[in-house]
A and B are shown apart, each in its own frame.
Chain A
């Protein structure tokens, strides 16, 4: 019952995210989706992942969105969208139906035991993945620094004609 309530909350926050006209409101609803998704992950037994999702998805990403919106301006969305709502709904429903067809047989498969622990999986079996993620994070940081760097143009030096010896002597006298 609790999971159903969480599910309803996720879907409600998701709909409000898309419906909000102002990006700042949409970012805050997205934070709600992340927090409720973390609760859902906890209910599925993924405790570490729930904590990471809560801190990164609901915390860091929301702060980044608010920061970017404060820089870029909170202009409301125009009334007419890029694609009509009917076509958008039809395409979204078609994709959802395809997902249902592919994932429905997965429910109910028993979980065999003997799986290595999460720590062992992350740091030993998928150590290369971790290395790539670290490189990716540093690349992202450098990219953002490069993108948002302010260019300070140096003032061009004023070229003056060279003075002759007589003119220099006149200036000194």
Chain B
């Protein structure tokens, strides 16, 4: 129970830090890194939910799916960031937002 409480504090802290990074980052790569932080929090929370509901292995298997989806998202986002840098010459999110005007 002590371990679960510690992990829950970690989840809340990681989620707060990740959300803060998502909102304040301007570099596209740093946005992806902040997204990874929030997904780490979700991963630990899925495991905790499995433990709390009495199905720890089910929680683990769902967390495994979350790792795969998280990695795929990161890979696609990084490839898009590289392409954006090649086309537009910058990774600044604000500069990229002027494209729609």
Q: Residues of A at under 8 Å CB distance from B?
A: 3-4, 6-7, 10-11, 14-15, 17-18, 23, 26-27, 30, 33-34, 37, 40-41, 43-46, 48-49, 52-53, 56-57, 60-61, 64-65, 68-69, 71-73, 75-78, 80-83, 85, 87-89, 91-93, 95-96, 99-100, 103-104, 106-112, 115-118, 120-122, 125-126, 129, 133, 136-137, 139-140, 143-144, 147-148
Contacts and interface: CB of A to CB of B under 8 A. Distances in A.
A26 to B, nearest CB: 5
Contact of A56 (B15, B20, B71): B71
Given A107-B5, A112-B54, A140-B75, A122 B61 contact: yes
A99 B15 contact: yes
B49 A82 contact: no
Nearest to B1: A108
B93 A49 contact: no
Contacts of B60: 46, 48-49, 118, 121
A43 B13 CA distance: 18
B33 A30 contact: yes
B29 A60 contact: no
Contacts of B80: 147
A11 B27 contact: no
Nearest to B95: A78
Contacts of B65: 126, 129, 133
Interface in B50-74: 51-65, 67-69, 71-72, 74
B44 A37 contact: yes
Contacts of A37: 10, 40, 43-44
Interface residues of B, number: 74
27 contacts: A3-B3, A3-B6, A7-B9, A10-B10, A10-B13, A14-B14, A18-B18, A18-B24, A23-B30, A26-B29, A41-B47, A44-B4, A64-B74, A64-B75, A65-B74, A77-B25, A92-B17, A108-B1, A109-B54, A111-B54, A111-B56, A115-B55, A118-B61, A125-B61, A126-B62, A144-B75, A148-B79
B54 A92 contact: no
A126 to B, nearest CB: 5
Contacts of B47: 41, 44, 46, 49
A103 B8 contact: yes
A87 B23 contact: yes
Contacts of B64: 48-49, 52, 122
